[in-house]
Chains A and B, each alone.
Chain A
Amino acid sequence: EAEVAQSPRYKITEKSQAVAFWCDPISGHATLYWYRQILGQGPELLVQFQDESVVDDSQLPKDRFSAERLKGVDSTLKIQPAELGDSAMYLCASSESIQVGTDTQYFGPGTRLTVL
């Protein structure tokens, strides 16, 4: 069964350092999403790609966060510099982007970030 791959699974860093997360979506999925999830809350969308283009980054803190999906396949999310409040689970998801009806997001295992 096809899965969304993410790495690393866990990351511990000190504040002001740079961190990067990688995601490889399910093959053929046009849309890729990065979410941040804080314990006790639902996933919060950071950025959404349609192929290689950003279609929504309204919730991405652009002063420190950046994301790219250069060839429309895998993607990297970067934080520089990391702050204590960035400690969270970072989830990547992908979907086929079926326009009508049954488009389903599939999530990767996530990266648990701890900023000390």
Chain B
Amino acid sequence: DQQVKQNSPSLSVQEGRISILNCDYTNSMFDYFLWYKKYPAEGPTFLISISSIKDKNEDGRFTVFLNKSAKHLSLHIVPSQPGDSAVYFCAAKRQWGNFNKFYFGSGTKLNVKP
């Protein structure tokens, strides 16, 4: 039972344009959402996050939007750069007793063309 889904395995965007990566979730108990970026042969790097009490968080070229009613979040990259080419994972956190549990999507591979 996959609670976090990224339905687009890949996305190709021209340099300078906007990249929009999408993520859907099913569990209303998630209270925190994160995006990670992963290059080949490296571990995921934390990129940006958003609390469930907010609907937008911005950090430079990266903005994450949360639509709780639709159980949907998206990551916008503007403008896209070739160095943004990587796999992007969406993750969600919920409390589990006295600790937290994280759930990951399957990733979207972004290719930014020069």
Among residues 10 to 38 in chain B, which have CB atoms less than 8 Å away from a CB atom of chain A?
Answer: 31-32, 34, 36
Among residues 40 to 93 in chain A, which have CB atoms less than 8 Å away from a CB atom of chain B?
Answer: 40-43, 45, 48, 50, 55-56, 91, 93
Contact A106 B46 (CB under 8 A): yes
Q: Which of B41, B42, B46, B98 contacts A105 (CB 8 A)?
A: B46
Q: Which residues of A contact B31 (CB under 8 A)?
A: 100-101
Contact A43 B44 (CB under 8 A): yes
- Number of interface residues, chain A, beta carbon within 8 A: 31
Complex CA–CA separation, A6 to B46 (angstroms): 17
Complex CA–CA separation, A99 to B93 (angstroms): 11
Given A43-B44, A108-B43, A103-B100 contact (CB < 8 Å): yes
Considering the complex, give the chain A residue whose CB is closest to the CB of B95: A99
Interface of A is mostly: loop
Given A91-B44, A102-B49, A107-B43, A43-B104 contact (CB < 8 Å): yes
List 8 extra interface pairs beyond A100-B95, A104-B34, A104-B46, CB under 8 A: A41-B106, A42-B106, A93-B43, A104-B49, A105-B91, A107-B36, A107-B44, A109-B43
Question: Can you name 23 A-B residue pairings with CB atoms under 8 Å?
Answer: A4-B43, A40-B106, A41-B107, A42-B89, A43-B44, A45-B101, A45-B102, A48-B99, A48-B101, A55-B97, A95-B100, A98-B100, A99-B100, A101-B31, A102-B32, A103-B32, A103-B93, A104-B46, A105-B34, A105-B102, A107-B45, A110-B41, A110-B42
Give the interface of B toward A (CB within 8 A): 4, 6, 9, 31-32, 34, 36, 41-46, 49, 51, 89, 91, 93, 95-102, 104-107
